[in-house]
């Protein structure tokens, strides 16, 4: 058993959020914030220096790389630090890419301070902590896989929700218009709807996409 502190990197584009996280975490014994990053790119670079145990990663950074991509780049390296997502978003469109990218845990920013500290320690030990809403949704996906949207279907529907045409969605995702239509057809069946508007409304209500 080692008494070495758990070394943290805070990756968030809002200084106030980073300051809040630092204030909470530095009151906890055995946790030390050694660096901050205001962009996902900076987080990837800083995490590679070898002196970080856990990265607390936001998902949205405005322009440039997002948190899920940064997580994938960080965790792809050998002896990589753990990544704990700390965000305000809990839809499938947010959680699935982050978890698939290799995040060890997923917590929401409104979590109590004690839950945040516990999640950091759990992540450092290589175990998973999920926000209750995220855990519930993942369990529902496992129980009813036939009604769950795939990651690609979620991406398609999220762009439809932004008002993009099938052709524009295809251009954004490098898919043919016919492939987009096929994805939408499967989405309609899974959500038991018959229009783009109804699909967006139902998916939003179920927490599958963010509006």
Q: Where are the domains of the chain?
A: 6-140, 145-205
E strand or H helix at 198, and its extent?
Answer: helix 196-205
pLDDT for 145: 67
- Inter-residue contact 129 to 99 (CB < 8 Å): no
Residue at token pair 């855990």: 135
Measure Cα distances from 184 to 124, 165, 190 in Å: 40, 12, 10
pLDDT for 90: 83
- Inter-residue contact 39 to 13 (CB < 8 Å): yes
Name which of 121, 103, 102, 104 is nearest 32 in CA terms: 121
Using CB atoms within 10 A of its CB, is residue 118 exposed (0-12), middle (13-18) or buried (19+)? middle
Same fold, 6-140 and 145-205: no
CATH architecture of 6-140: 3-Layer(aba) Sandwich (3.40)
Q: pLDDT tens, position by position, for the chain (211 residues)?
A: 457 899 999 999 999 999 999 999 999 999 999 999 999 999 999 999 999 999 999 999 988 899 999 999 999 998 999 999 999 988 888 888 898 899 999 999 999 999 999 999 999 999 999 998 888 878 877 776 666 788 899 999 999 999 999 999 999 999 999 999 999 999 999 888 999 999 999 988 888 887 6
Q: How far apart are CA 36 and CA 18, in angstroms?
A: 7
Helices (H) and strands (E) in the chain, counts: 10, 5
How many CA atoms does the CB half-sphere of 129 hold within 13 Å? 22
- Written as six digits, the tokens of 175 are 């898919």
- Inter-residue contact 79 to 49 (CB < 8 Å): no
pLDDT for 13: 95
CATH number of 145-205: 1.10.10.10
- Written as six digits, the tokens of 1 are 């058993």
The answer to whether the predicted template modeling score (pTM) of the entire model surpasses 0.85 is no
Measure Cα distances from 20 to 8, 40, 68, 109, 176 in Å: 14, 19, 22, 10, 45
Residue at token pair 């009151």: 27
């Amino acid at each position: 058993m080692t008494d070495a502190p758990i070394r943290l990197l805070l990756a968030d584009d809002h200084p106030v959020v980073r300051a809040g996280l630092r204030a909470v975490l530095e009151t906890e014994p055995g946790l030390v914030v050694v660096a901050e990053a205001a962009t996902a790119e900076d987080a990837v670079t800083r995490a590679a220096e070898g002196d970080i145990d856990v990265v607390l990663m936001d998902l949205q950074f405005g322009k440039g790389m997002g948190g899920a991509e940064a997580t994938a780049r960080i965790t792809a390296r050998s002896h990589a630090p753990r990544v704990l997502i700390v965000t305000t978003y809990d839809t499938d469109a947010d959680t699935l890419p982050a978890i698939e990218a290799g995040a060890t845990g997923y917590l929401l920013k409104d979590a109590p301070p004690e839950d945040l500290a516990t999640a950091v320690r759990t992540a450092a030990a290589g175990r998973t902590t999920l926000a209750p809403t995220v855990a519930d949704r993942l369990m529902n996906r496992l129980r009813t896989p036939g009604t769950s949207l795939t990651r690609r279907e979620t991406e398609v529907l999220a762009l439809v929700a932004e008002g993009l045409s099938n052709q524009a969605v295809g251009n954004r995702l490098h898919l043919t218009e016919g492939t987009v239509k096929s994805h939408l057809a499967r989405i309609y069946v899974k959500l038991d709807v018959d229009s783009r508007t109804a699909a967006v409304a139902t998916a939003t209500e179920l927490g599958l996409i963010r509006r």
